[in-house]
Chain A
Amino acid sequence: MTSTPADVGSRGAPRGAAGTTPAVPPGGRRRRTLSSSQWAAVGFAAPLLVYLVLFYAYPLWRNIDLSVHDYTIRAFVQGDAEFVGLQNYVDVFSSSTFPTALWNTVVFTFGSIAFQFTIGLALAVFFRSSFRLSSTLRAMFLVPWLLPLIVSASTWAWMLNSENGIVNSVITAFGGEQINWLTSPDTALLSVTIANIWLGIPFNLVILYSGLQNIPGEVYEAASLDGAGPWRQFWSITFPLLRPVSAITILLGLIYTLKVVDVIWVMTTGGPGDASTTLAIWSYREAFGTGQPDFSPAAAVGNLLIVIALVFGFLHLRLQHRQEASS
């Protein structure tokens, strides 16, 4: 499964790029004007460049523009919003929602990642030794990841329904108390985190499994000849050798989880109150969630979210870079 063309290609990419650069003397290339092959290259890349400017840079610029103006619906239509500088950011930081949203983001993100990763790793190790049906079962684990998020989120919402949900009916059948999963401030964040953990397991499983495939089998054979049991093999071989892949999986998970809107919005809309409001949900709610859109603070929260995502993103790129350099 891992030796698919795309995978082979990604392995060849850094080498291909590095191998071709020295072929052209760097000085000579700089002195000449654009050669005909460079013109062709620019021509083929032109649609992408235009696309990035129009559909990435421009919306992002508009977003910054929104955050430093006071946009109301009327100002939106008339285009005469007042410039307020960093006032929206000051408002966001001093809002009573801010500490709650930040804390919820931290709990939601780290709670999701910790369990997704642990369960994904355990399953990857479990599926490592092939047995009857193992590849079919592994493929079925991808299903939750491929379903539209709204489908999974509404299924979970119905399963966690207070009166008619299957989860509560199992709990009460065993003599437990009915839990108001989505409507109680104590459990709303826990509920959306559980659903999100479920959604993230397939991604972690696939990546960690492909990482495991790169650990040569002889290492394990040697270890078991030396009398190391499975537990010891895991801690002294699998875990250390999988560290680079694990780091990348966790960082990508962080970047993805910070962005999550759909799941939480469909299950609880961030409520009750602010009980399950994360930064992303807060931004979405301000801009689109209520009858009265308030784009300026929403854009400010969104930009804050970009900064956080980029910090983890650069960490990810550095790790990946170091890993490429060492291999």
Chain B
Amino acid sequence: MTERKVWWKTALGVLFTALMLFPVYWMVNVSFTETRDLRADPPHWFPWDPTFEGYEAVFAQQLPALGTSLLIGLGSVGLTVVIAAPAGYALALLHLRGGRTLNFLLLVAQMIPAVVMAMGFYAVYNNLGLLNTVPGLIVADSTIAVPFGVLLFTAFMSGIPRELLQAARVDGAGAWRTFVAIVLPMSRNSILTVSLFAFLWAWSDFIFASTLNRNGDLIPITLSIYHYIGNNTTQWNAIMATAVVASIPASILLVVAQRYVAAGVTAGAVKD
């Protein structure tokens, strides 16, 4: 009897997942549909006769945008890790004075709406001449990930056994050497988690891109999709093809690094 109940649950689970992922399926389906069939009634539920028009358009037009997004994502990952990892070390293992206050500030920083940050950055960048530049966007995008990164590194590094650090000190290693030779290698998993989120957030960012990089020569893929929708509402297959391509990094990361994703979501929210 239990055997049958389990099968029944699997069937229900598949049904729920299918319902949940229907919009994703629909995006893929539309991306393969011929332009003339987009307005067919009833709509084509499956691309029996797939067209690659949409994808050809993506590769003809969107490669620079994809490259820009990749660059911004990697830049944001680098900046986030370089700033957050040493800070986590200082907070977790070097007992930085005022550490509690700093932790508190980081929690508050995560609550500030991105629109507000975008306006502040716009005003600052306007004076510094950083509007419409890739470095400017990298810095702005990294603000989403840095507080999260510091909190995650602090949490993980607090769990590193003190005996190891003491042993290093006995061997004459200073704070820097301990950091590079012991703490960083041991924190590999949290570096991966932080990098993953920093990349995804920078890759998916729309608010900073649409405000700080409105007239740039190099626009990221999110902004490119947005312009596409604005200019070209008849070619939804091409829009959806771009959307599918823009979702590839997320899908790869989900497959390759699923446990880090779940770890990041949980660690950011629940301290149990």
Contacts and interface: CB of A to CB of B under 8 A. Distances in A.
Contacts of A146: 200, 250-251, 253-254, 261
Contacts of A60: 112, 116-117, 120
30 contacts: A2-B266, A6-B260, A9-B190, A10-B152, A10-B272, A13-B271, A16-B92, A38-B94, A44-B86, A47-B83, A48-B83, A48-B87, A59-B120, A59-B121, A59-B123, A129-B9, A137-B17, A140-B20, A140-B21, A141-B20, A142-B262, A148-B203, A149-B206, A150-B243, A155-B24, A198-B20, A206-B266, A261-B115, A309-B112, A317-B104
Nearest to B38: A164
A179 interface: no
B156 A6 contact: yes
Contact of B26 (A48, A139, A155): A155
Interface string A65-86: 1100000000010010000000
A45 B96 contact: yes
B225 A303 contact: no
B108 interface: yes
Interface stretch (A88-96, A183-191, A220-228, A247-255): A247-255
B169 to A, nearest CB: 10
A9 B116 contact: no
Interface string B255-268: 00011111111110
Interface of A: 1-2, 4-14, 16-17, 20-21, 24, 29, 37-38, 40-45, 47-48, 51-52, 55-56, 58-63, 65-66, 76, 79, 123, 126-127, 129, 131-134, 137, 139-152, 154-159, 163-164, 166, 169, 173, 198, 201, 203, 206-207, 210-211, 214, 245, 248-249, 252, 255, 258-259, 261-262, 266, 280, 283-284, 287-288, 295, 298-299, 302-303, 305-306, 309-310, 312-313, 317, 320, 323-324, 327
Interface in B216-272: 221-222, 225-226, 229, 236, 239-240, 243, 246-247, 250-251, 253-254, 258-267, 269-272
Given A48-B84, A245-B270, A6 B152 contact: yes
Contact of B267 (A9, A142, A287): A9
B186 to A, nearest CB: 9
Nearest to B205: A148
A310 B111 CA distance: 7
Contacts of A2: 262, 266
A299 B119 contact: yes
Contacts of A56: 109, 112, 117, 143
Contacts of A169: 41-43
B61 interface: no
A4 B123 contact: no
B118 interface: yes
A154 B207 CA distance: 15
A37 B175 contact: yes
A313 B263 contact: no
A320 B124 CA distance: 35
Contacts of A61: 120
Contact of B189 (A4, A280, A295, A299): A4
B242 to A, nearest CB: 9
Interface of B: 6-7, 9-10, 12-14, 16-17, 20-21, 23-24, 26-27, 30, 38-39, 41-43, 82-84, 86-87, 89-92, 94-97, 99-100, 102, 104-105, 107-109, 111-124, 126-127, 139-140, 142-143, 146, 150, 152, 154-159, 174-176, 179, 189-190, 193, 200, 203-204, 206-207, 210-211, 214, 221-222, 225-226, 229, 236, 239-240, 243, 246-247, 250-251, 253-254, 258-267, 269-272
Nearest to A63: B120
Most-contacted residue by chain B among A5, A63, A144, A261 (CB, 10 A): A5
